[in-house]
Amino acid sequence: MNSQYQEIKPLKEYVTVLENKDNQARGEQIITALTELGLEPTFQKCRWPRIRNIIVDFTPEPYAKRILFTAHYDVVKGSPGANDNASGVAALIGLCHELKHQKVPVKIVFFDREEAWLRTPLIRLGLLGSLFYVLKNDMQIVSAVYNLEFCGLGDCLGIWPIHSEQEELPALRRVKTAALRLGLPYQTANISWILLSSDHMSFRIKGVRNALTLSLLPKDQADVLEFSLSKLSFLKLLTGQRSTLPKPLDIIHSSEDTSDNINESALRLMLSLLLELIPSYDLSGYLSPSGKDGKI
Ligand SMILES: [Zn+2]
């Protein structure tokens, strides 16, 4: 069938093909899925530490600013890695399907090696793929970064980590507006990086303030999240005492993170949000070769 008329696949299928596979095999599955869509990903590789980031860029030339949508595809050993983070990958492959015939200043990066490679009771070091990316790329051209984690279950958008001084960030305002337009309830959360982190952090370290992570959680669990966060203390975290996290965060990194817990409707909800978000960017300085095509 001509790829132009290809129907979008159920996004959950992308979760099940990644599930229970190691990092190398998960990367191969992403490349296969992108190739089936008629896209040619590029790679950012490092031999040591071994990293392979997979990139699809829809940005036309000449260009100025662009929006980055990212999700890590690697997995913690011993976990099937469905919600963390085959779900984020699936939503981004869905976005690739929707954008495949467009020239828009959107770049999609599937990050390798987000999960910790050094884990002790006190220290947890990961984010290698995204740190390598920010080290080797110009951050001046990045308007915003929306990183996806845990998108496979729930009907309430979690935007994190946001502390009180970040409430006015343009990236946050835009995603809230997009959620409102879809009737999607949202909650911001100020999650300590010691408890939970993700690839937004590498961009913030490099000075990109408009870098957020988007997740989904069931509405009735949003209050539980707020309660667990209020019970946190630095001392408790340092001594390994974690509050009970709400669903679906309670099963991440465990053998229970399977696709049985993933809903197609949640994955579609995240995809709808991303599609609603893109046109809210008036990326100044962006010039379309034809003068009108691809203007967003
Ligand atoms: Zn993750």
Dig out the tokens for 37 from the structure.
């869509």
Q: Of the given ranges (59-73, 150-164, 239-253, 273-287), which has the lowest mean pLDDT?
A: 239-253
**Residues 184, 273 contacting (CB under 8 angstroms):** yes
Distance from Cα 149 to the centre of ligand 1, integer Å: 6
Question: How far apart are the C-alpha atoms of 121 and 154, rounded to whole Å?
Answer: 30
Integer Cα distance of 161 and 158 in angstroms: 9
pLDDT above 50: residue 290: no
Q: Are the C-beta atoms of residues 181 and 118 closer than 8 Å to each other? A: no
Tell whether the model's pLDDT for residue 286 goes beyond 80: no
Q: What is the pLDDT of residue 223?
A: 75
**Which residue type, as a one-letter code, is found at position 210?**
N
Average pLDDT (56-85) is: 92
234 CA to centre of ligand 1 in angstroms:
22
Cα 258 to averaged position of ligand 1 atoms, centre (Å) = 14
Residue 54, judged by CB atoms within 10 A of its CB (0-12, 13-18, 19+), counts as: buried
Q: Find the 254 Cα to ligand 1 centroid distance in Å.
A: 12
CATH architecture of 3-280: 3-Layer(aba) Sandwich (3.40)
**Cα 177 from Cα 54, distance rounded (Å):** 29
CA of 129 to the centre of ligand 1 (A): 12
| Torsion sign (Cα): 100, 271, 21, 262 | negative
From ligand 1's centre to the CA of 112, what distance in Å? Answer: 11
Collapsing DSSP states into helix, strand and coil, what is residue 55? strand
Q: Please report which residue ranges of the chain form alpha helices under DSSP H.
A: 12-18, 23-36, 87-99, 128-136, 170-182, 200-205, 219-230, 234-238, 264-277
Q: How far is the centre of ligand 1, averaged over its atoms, from the C-alpha of 110 (Å)?
A: 12
Distance 84 CA to ligand 1 centre (A): 5
Q: How far apart are CA 158 and CA 90, in angstroms?
A: 18
The pLDDT value given to residue 285: 47
pLDDT of residue 288: 42
Ligand 1 mean position to 198 CA, how many Å?
6
Distance from Cα 42 to the centre of ligand 1, integer Å: 22
- Residue 294 confidence class, pLDDT cut points 50, 70, 90: very low
Average pLDDT of 171-176? 96
Find the radius of gyration of the CA atoms of the chain: 18
- From ligand 1's centre to the CA of 95, what distance in Å? 19
Give 83 Cα–ligand 1 centroid separation in angstroms.
8
Q: How many CB atoms lie within 10 A of CB 187?
A: 16
Is the pLDDT higher at 32 or at 223?
Answer: 32
Q: Check if the beta carbon of residue 99 is closer than 8 Å to that of residue 139.
A: no
- Give mean pLDDT, residues 151-176: 93
Q: Are 151 and 216 in contact (CB under 8 A)?
A: yes
pLDDT given at position 5: 64
Say how many Å lie between the CA of residue 71 and the centre of ligand 1. Answer: 8
Please give the model's pTM, rounded to 2 decimal places: 0.90
Determine the distance separating the centroid of ligand 1 and the alpha carbon of 252, expressed in angstroms.
8
For the residues 65-77, what does the mean pLDDT come to?
Answer: 95
Query: What is the distance in A from the centroid of ligand 1 to the CA of 113?
Result: 10
Q: Which of 71, 116, 87, 113 is CA-nearest to residue 16?
A: 87
Domain extent listing, the chain = 3-280
Q: Mean pLDDT check: name the lowest of 47-56, 125-134, 138-147, 216-225.
A: 216-225
Which residue in this structure is represented by tokens 């609603």?
276
Q: Which residue has the higher pLDDT, 197 or 263?
A: 263
3-class secondary-structure state, position 165? helix
CA of 27 to the centre of ligand 1 (A): 15
- The pLDDT assigned to 197 comes to 85
In the block, residue with structure tokens 């290698």: 128
Identify the residue with better confidence: 17 or 224.
17
